[in-house]
Structure 1
Amino acid sequence: MSSTITLNDSLIINQIEQQFSQLGAQFNEAETDILLDGEAVDTIDTSGLQCLLMLIQNAIAQGKSVSWLNASETLKTSAEKLGLNQALQLS
């Protein structure tokens, strides 16, 4: 069974601490298959991408699979600029 985690529209440094805690709890409570819905993301910075990377890597280390249901162009473009597409499993 899969669990869908929906990302907020903004993943930026001044909000990331609270969001990281919330997302971390969702990742930990998720079933073995995690679907990320990033369609609403319209603002993301390096700290937001780092947060997602850490959460995805931790989930994989716990034996969970992570895939994207939707990813906004902003999310994909930002990840590509930093060379994180593969690490974030966007490609």
Structure 2
Amino acid sequence: MADSTLQLPNSLVIQNVAEWKERFVALLANGGLPSLDASPLKDIDTAGLQLLLAVAVEAEKQGSTINWESTSSELQDFAKVLGVTEPLNLEPA
């Protein structure tokens, strides 16, 4: 697993989710998912959350989990509302 940190954008929405999917696919294909810094993330929609869930599922298939360096309240709140804090390995708020 990579030791670096990947900083997420301030917006992870349908307009940019394909770009971020490519990044995650490349990282997972190379066997290393860095810690994620979601502190800048202020705008996330269901497409963005679905991408993070897909990353979590693929990481689990590889025997890993998403490790968060930090998160935003927006991510925490949205994940809690949709009931996906556990699959995303987010701390209960």
Asked if TM exceeds 0.5, the reply is yes
**1:48 equivalent in structure 2:** 48
In terms of fraction of residues, the more strand-rich structure is: 1
**1:4 equivalent in structure 2:** 5
Maintained 8 Å contact 2:66/2:88: no
Maintained 8 Å contact 2:65/2:89: no
> Which runs of no fewer than 5 residues in structure 1 stay unpaired?
none
**1:25 equivalent in structure 2:** 26
Count of matched residue pairs:
90
Structure 1 position 18, deviation (Å): 1.6
- In structure 1, the residue corresponding to 2:4 is in which secondary structure? strand
Structure 1 position 30, deviation (Å): 5.2
Cα RMSD over matched residues? 1.7
Percentage of matched positions with identical amino acids: 31
> Which runs of no fewer than 5 residues in structure 2 stay unpaired?
none
Provide TM-score, normalisation by structure 1: 0.85
- In structure 2, the residue corresponding to 1:79 is in which secondary structure? helix
- In structure 2, the residue corresponding to 1:5 is in which secondary structure? strand
Provide TM-score, normalisation by structure 2: 0.84
